Amino acid sequence: MSDTVEEMTRAQLRHGLRIAALLVALAIVCGLGLANLVRYQHLYPWPLAQAVAFAALGAVLAGEATLLVLGRSWGRLRGPAIALVLAASALSYVTLPDGRTSSGVDWAFGAANWVGVVVLLDRPLRTAVAFLLAHEVTALLHLLLLDDPSRSDMARFATGSVTVFGFPMCLAVVAAVLRGLSAAAAASRGEIERVRVAEAVAVESHGRRRQRFAELSVTTIPLLEGLADGSLRPEDPVVQRRCAIEAARMRRLFAEADDVANPLLHELRHCIDVADRKGVVVELDARGQWPEPPVAVRRDLTEAVLIALATTASRARITVMGGSDLVSVSVVADCGELDVPSPATPGVQVEALNTDDTVWMEARWQPTS
């Protein structure tokens, strides 16, 4: 919601700047420019050419007004519009009386510059600078090549260029600064949102880990306390089995924070590491493609494997099969009869079969659409 409001605000600022630039250009072209054109009409050798140049600039301003009403920019028409402005300026200079460049008779000198800046207002600053330089060069070439300028003519051109180049340039700079501020504000807003999301994820992950540590402490702390006070003996097979289970659960907890492509297989491999350290030969076979189960579901799917691996004597085989509608994790191990773990997630089912010294357990999860 805030991003939409900010974008609307930036759009309104850009729209308002375009309106202000258009009003300034209209005041100069249709005010001072038209007044000088009418006032010195008798001095032009080709008055119709001057009128055509003025009409061309007026057409460009009319186009800008139309685009503002429609809420659109120049787009692909920007190039032809600038070409028309420069052509109108050149036409005016070609039919200008000798020695009148940058004088009151030269109405286009202080008018065409504003029209071009209006068209280029939403473009990079270098584009507006290039246009203003082209406009200045057009007038300078006419002065040098056709007027045989005196020192006073050059001084008049130089002083006139300060306003002809400088004032439109200030408007172009304001537009560029506004665009830069808008882009910086948008980038800052995006960075703030990314930081907030990262912080929220970190807080949530930390909360989940604290919850898991609290859950593990229910079984881990009594085990550690028993080993510390001597009430539990390390050589007791039952104690060793409990230690192996808690170690596997710890490794699974640490693996849950890893960013991997297949979290279920990643956590199973961490559970297998505990059995590997005891010299148990473990085979892992994965088949199919399945959606990523939630953390709670992965714990239920790996719990049966974890318990079997902690108890197995020499070998175990783990099979993971899945599809879009079912994920199954099963284990076959040479261990005695085991208690079937009760899944905490309602969508997970666990089954077990015991045959002599071999145990088969399977945990299944059906994703809901």
Q: Indicate the residue type of 57.
A: L
pLDDT, position 59 = 92
pLDDT at 114 over 70: yes
DSSP characters over 208-262: HHHHHHHHHHHHHHHHHHHHHHTSS-TT-HHHHHHHHHHHHHHHHHHHTTS--S-
pLDDT at 65 over 50: yes
pLDDT, position 319 = 93
Higher per-residue pLDDT: 182 or 323: 323
pLDDT at 203 over 90: no
Confidence at 329, pLDDT banded by 50, 70, 90: very high
pLDDT at 1 over 50: no
Average of per-residue pLDDT across 163-185: 78
pLDDT, position 62 = 92
Average of per-residue pLDDT across 312-331: 90
pLDDT, position 102 = 66
Average of per-residue pLDDT across 52-70: 90
Does domain 233-365 fall under CATH 3.30.70? My reply is no
pLDDT at 267 over 80: yes
pLDDT, position 202 = 80
Across the chain, the runs of DSSP E, i.e. the strands, are 281-288, 315-322, 327-333, 348-355, 358-365
Average of per-residue pLDDT across 152-174: 78
DSSP characters over 151-203: HHHHHHHHHHHHHHHHHHHHHHHHHHHHHHHHHHHHHHHHHHHHHHHHHHHHH
Place of tokens 């309106």: 19
The gap from C-alpha 45 to its chain's centroid, in whole angstroms, comes to: 59
Write the pLDDT tens digit of every residue in 213-255: 776 677 788 888 888 888 888 888 888 888 888 888 888 887 8
What is the rounded distance in angstroms from the CA atom of residue 18 to the CA atom of residue 5?
20
Confidence at 364, pLDDT banded by 50, 70, 90: very high
pLDDT, position 123 = 86
pLDDT, position 136 = 84
Q: What does each C-alpha distance from 22 to 29, 61, 117 come to in angstroms? A: 10, 7, 9
What is the rounded distance in angstroms from the CA atom of residue 315 to the CA atom of residue 311?
10
Average of per-residue pLDDT across 36-58: 88
Q: Give the domain ranges of the chain.
A: 2-191, 233-365
pLDDT, position 6 = 58
pLDDT, position 285 = 92
Is the pTM of the predicted complex or chain greater than 0.75? no
pLDDT, position 353 = 87
Write the pLDDT tens digit of every residue in 281-321: 899 999 988 888 888 899 899 888 888 888 888 888 999 99
Write the pLDDT tens digit of every residue in 122-155: 888 888 888 888 888 887 887 777 666 667 767 7
Confidence at 325, pLDDT banded by 50, 70, 90: confident
